[in-house]
A and B are shown apart, each in its own frame.
Chain A
């Protein structure tokens, strides 16, 4: 091989090795995050990365030196050595020492970040995963809500242009205070999910029947995004997490405004109980709600997914006894992906959805289900 080709090859090899590092600089690296723990984790990650690079440089350096210098085509004659107890003991011990050097900071970070739930927490948020949404409850208050993917189905199926935060946007973000110890208690209603916000270095599995705890103290106000990190079924890729961190004062304001809003909503709900809405109005509201909450599984055309999700179109539930239909929407069906929507939506919203399911796609029962019907069902006052 000519020396020119050697140089060209060498240049390419150097470029190939540099590429990972330029990529690191371009933001394809782990985030430093906004908690002490996440910054420690970042430091640990970089330390070990560089140690690995150094070992790699030595080992691959020796390897490639052999490959270049000790080639048969260059006339190299094989040496005769094939063992050396001293060398072999040495390269058992040296990695051992390097590992201890890695284990010490890792242990320190782990112990510092450990939370057995006994430390003081200023605020506790219960995070509950379900297929495929997150529920947040501020413990000690009655503020709690579901947080769903806000990206439009038409954007996912490429009928509409995608926004900047495609798949990382929700209808109701979790709001948290900065500079306070926040404890997350994490659980699940159905399968295992995993609540992951990289900026906090918090990733904890949400396991049905168990409560996991993890703590964070956010240093800077801002908007932080994450995603579910455990395969949880069909819509695993569509379970984003959005957190808005506010200063403590702004957070307190938000929490009291939220409490006031909740009280007003309850009063409104009572008024709706007494109202009879027309079939047209129920169908209009029901269609929008169905598409946001139900169409992911039962499909916009009500035909479900054969073998996995039952159809509503022409089904016994949606065209038969109205009380059976109300029952399954309110209470779900155990052992299936059909959730209990009674605690997720208001009675008037549920009434609209049920009405829509009973009258769409040729299910022409003519039933206009009212919030009052659901209220009667819930109080056990069935005809």
Chain B
């Protein structure tokens, strides 16, 4: 990709004057009032990491309680609050904001735009998030505790039989949803309108493509979630009977609505990962991505299919045979475009010139471990076998392979990949490698044995278990503590990198391609005031 532009000469203003008018404000107000995509990107990323640690501490409570049979540390009711809030915090507080942060930072730079298209809305879509999570987390301190009905909050447990924190739960979900929709609108408008001249659709970096498709998914399904939580609210407080069988409602309808949101949601949490991995593997294999066009089509097909598979979460609710067959076939079909993506990645590496910098290590771990998560997903799609797997630790293992060694590993890879661009310094490679190897080993000790626990018959979301599950639970808990502690190394690496280190060149990775590597490191506060022109 050729860029014809003189980066050092702002047009019409001299450099000093330019800084006075357009530089960042100083102090705290810079962060409160900022409309700069880079500042907002950093805010999102820091917020996401804070939530990652918060949700992670809750997971540590869960793993500590499950370290051995019997109730040692917490009451079952509090255990349920931990599983519920852990799920909500990780999904809406850690994974989604991390991707939005990456989108904010990178999309304008990758497409040659000066900023996001709607900067003031960008500020709002970030700043309402801390309030949403303050509401959610404060409910844990209410009399009777926070939400304890699982992140899937199946009615009637979440309506008739829930505590009074339900109102806070519903409002916080509403605010998170509004934030996501605003973020998605911003991404779509930016990509549609602010691409540099010459950047045609099929030249868009894959990270931008995957985020564009993700943004459409968000706009399609977040209102469905908002509808579901509103119905929960009115059922509980205003006497409606959407999900109450006694009043003519249908508890299973809740699950249909929830999973119509929930299944596309799991792809919202993985599609941007595909974009990140498709950027990193070619860089460190020093070879172009194999099958760019089929990658775009595969992403779009996965997004499309994600709308017709929701009931595979509901095979045991008493579905008719036709429904079970339909949803089984559709779910199995998703393996095809996902397989295409994995094969393309392997082909990208094939006969490359591969080196193993830290972003590459995380990306490779992603490919292998996400594929393992894909295999267990395929097994879960087989309806008769799902009768045995459903709601056991097999499922817990499956979605943690997809969401932790999938989504979160890709976010780590992205953070290491672009950290020199963000900070202007190279990170400490030794520490970062330590972080990688500790994470890789511990995450497998944490989640791999869960497959066997599930097959042996351990249901999920139980605070105490039968004796035959004791040994594996102990191993899993040790893996959990180790994985949790390993993430503090990451924090250390990032802080160290912000404070200093070897200055990073504009393009710190030999094989990297894309507009973001054409600008100096750290990226200037305003990047492209006149769009770079991309020559065919």
A contacts, CB < 8 Å to B: 20, 23-24, 27-31, 37, 40-41, 44-45, 48-49, 52, 55-56, 59-60, 62-63, 66-67, 70-73, 76-84, 87-88, 91-92, 95-96, 99, 102-103, 106-107, 109-111, 113-114, 116, 131, 155-158, 162, 164-168, 190-192, 194, 196, 198, 201-205, 207-210, 212-213, 226-238, 305-308, 335-337
Contacts and interface: CB of A to CB of B under 8 A. Distances in A.
B317 A305 contact: no
Given A56-B371, A78-B353, A336-B161, A234 B77 contact: yes
Given A83-B291, A307-B143, A307-B145, A233 B318 contact: no
A78 B285 contact: yes
5 contacts: A41-B388, A110-B324, A167-B465, A209-B251, A308-B144
Nearest to B349: A66
B250 to A, nearest CB: 8
Given A63-B346, A91-B340, A305-B144, A56 B375 contact: yes
B251 A29 contact: no
Contacts of B452: 20, 23-24, 28-29
Nearest to A115: B321
B519 interface: no
Nearest to A23: B452
B448 interface: yes
Size band of the interface chain B makes with A? 35 or more
B507 interface: no
A215 to B, nearest CB: 13
B148 interface: yes
A207 to B, nearest CB: 5
A323 B243 CA distance: 33
A217 to B, nearest CB: 16
Given A28-B455, A56-B372, A234 B144 contact: no
Interface of A is mostly: mixed
A203 B316 contact: yes
Contacts of A116: 320-321
CB-based closest 6 A-B pairs: A209-B245, A307-B144, A237-B462, A307-B143, A28-B452, A212-B318
Interface in B27-46: none
A233 to B, nearest CB: 6
Contact of B290 (A82, A210, A233): A82
Nearest to B355: A72
A217 B461 CA distance: 30
Contacts of B161: 131, 190-191, 233, 336-337
B179 interface: no
Contacts of B434: none
B384 A110 contact: yes
A121 B529 CA distance: 76
B25 interface: no
Contact of A28 (B77, B316, B472): B472
A231 B252 CA distance: 14
A306 B77 CA distance: 12
Interface stretch (B66-74, B98-106, B479-487): B66-74
Contacts of B143: 306-307
Contacts of B150: 231
B342 interface: yes
Contacts, number: 295
Contacts of B391: 194, 196, 203, 229-230
A308 B156 CA distance: 16
Contacts of A79: 287, 350-352
Given A28-B452, A155-B70, A91 B343 contact: yes
Nearest to B468: A27
Nearest to A226: B457
Contacts of B491: none
Nearest to B285: A78
Contacts of B383: 106, 110
A8 B389 CA distance: 36
Contact of A158 (B70, B157, B325, B356): B70
B337 to A, nearest CB: 8
B459 A59 contact: no
A109 B316 CA distance: 15
Nearest to B252: A207
B378 interface: yes
Given A210-B318, A229-B392, A167 B466 contact: yes
The winner among A70, A84, A203, A231 for most chain B CB atoms within 10 A is A231
A102 B354 contact: no
B347 interface: yes
A192 B387 contact: no
Contact of A82 (B251, B288, B316): B288
Contacts of B145: 307-308
Contacts of B9: none
B384 A41 contact: yes
A208 B317 CA distance: 11
B485 to A, nearest CB: 22
Contacts of A237: 76, 459, 461-465
Nearest to A305: B77
A82 B339 contact: no
Nearest to A67: B354
A20 to B, nearest CB: 7
A207 B144 contact: no
Contact of A45 (B343, B372, B388, B464): B388
B358 to A, nearest CB: 15
Interface in B321-364: 321, 324-325, 328-329, 332-333, 335-336, 339-340, 342-344, 346-356, 364
Interface in B267-300: 285-294
Contacts of A235: 76
A207 B318 contact: yes
B149 interface: yes
Given A79-B350, A83-B291, A237-B464, 17 more contacts: A41-B388, A45-B382, A63-B346, A73-B355, A76-B353, A110-B321, A110-B328, A155-B70, A158-B71, A168-B466, A191-B156, A194-B391, A207-B245, A227-B462, A306-B144, A307-B142, A336-B161
B354 A76 contact: yes
B385 interface: yes
A95 B286 contact: no
A70 B353 contact: yes
Contacts of B285: 70, 78
B321 A231 contact: no
B239 to A, nearest CB: 11
A52 B163 contact: no
Contacts of A45: 379, 382, 385, 388
